[in-house]
Structure 1
């Protein structure tokens, strides 16, 4: 029996605004084709989708779920997926990408670091919620999208409040013991399931500033080092160390934009042990030096606050 062909996986990195880490993607551009993609993708933040018309399929590695007009989709970070519409249609969507931990940091205080834990277990997750079954979720998601689109006076404060209400509602739904419509994404005995490295990815994103070795990541994934290295490369298209370094460089870019820390301090804060290795890695990924990148980023932020904030820096 031939081995099932592994889908191509893309990593999409969304560089969210510093002080308001949420973006809206809406309008006629966001129509989903009926053509089934040959690849899945995942991203570094929570994705909330609002389907405005037609229907189709949201596909994960192991399951395919139907959606229709009025549905709200809620896809956690690191979960590979793709969407395509029913034959002869092109469903219209609005997407909200958000980093809840950063968005709520000043609202929930010291609890922000653990605020997303109830929604971090993607083995048991509500991925699609209908307007009829979850009217509150639909109302809040739509209200957030409208506030982000209109940008009326104090809209950021309004969005934070609405998003906190939505997030609490999602937490309640996802942790409810009596939920009837819960979709279970089970990790089967095939260790090559895409979710097997999810815990390692989460560990990297939470602890990139600390020393991390491949043995630790393999242990977290319950794999041998050699097996983990192979599976990680098959899924991500790059080695674990390269992924760790790209995560550190992304964090460095955030610090270069948002602080006046020296280049040396930034390199140490994101986990590099020497300025030379930081410079070398930064230039390799960003195609310029940290100092020049900082000057260009500051100039861009000053001249165009609404400059493009969506980046694709992943692997295929």
Structure 2
């Protein structure tokens, strides 16, 4: 069980996370609650959503005249304008948040998504301990186990993620999976490969070694470079070595021998030959010229 000051945690949540705004959607928060000793509330209704999660204990949830058994791990949604009541024969550890979507600061798509929860019949979810919403509840409450290390931005970020997760948790619709733009996976792989090369120029950087790191074949990696950069793999690596060497020559006083080793050349002679071929002048002349600019 959480070792927290429940009153202070609830006060902090209501202070820090009373309005949660993202680019696509904004939530107005009416209240957060953390009640480790919940027993009973009267039959009532709201004009907004109230999402509750049972951290520990048993009880009964009455929704529109129908009773549902509450147990540890139950996640449920009290929908607007629906009469409901929560009761427990013994103390029940209950956390909850009441909110509505701000239509003026939310885009049409997100507003329509949350409006579907008004009609959902998928509002009572037992055995939800491993759902995203339940895990985010846990992550949020655990923030208060170290009260001297609280970071407002952490609390707000988790709270935002929690509210966004409720749509997925309670929706009955099977939405079409987001279709990633074609070719994006290749772009990400190529960018990862480029970053690895630039950060590890001192290494041999064999094609098959990097391909293994990326969990793809050497042929696939070679094709990515040819199609994505217009260079073959070896040429790209050589260009990055020379580019890095040029920066070190220009902005540091490191000896040329040290620079050649830092960018992955086995000998100063080979480095000088490669640098001259790419830059049109040997490293020493390049450094002298750059220092006079």
Query: TM class, shorter-chain normalised?
Result: 0.3 to 0.5
Find the structure with the greater CA-based Rg: 2
- Point out the structure with the larger helix share: 2
TM-score when scaled to structure 2?
0.41
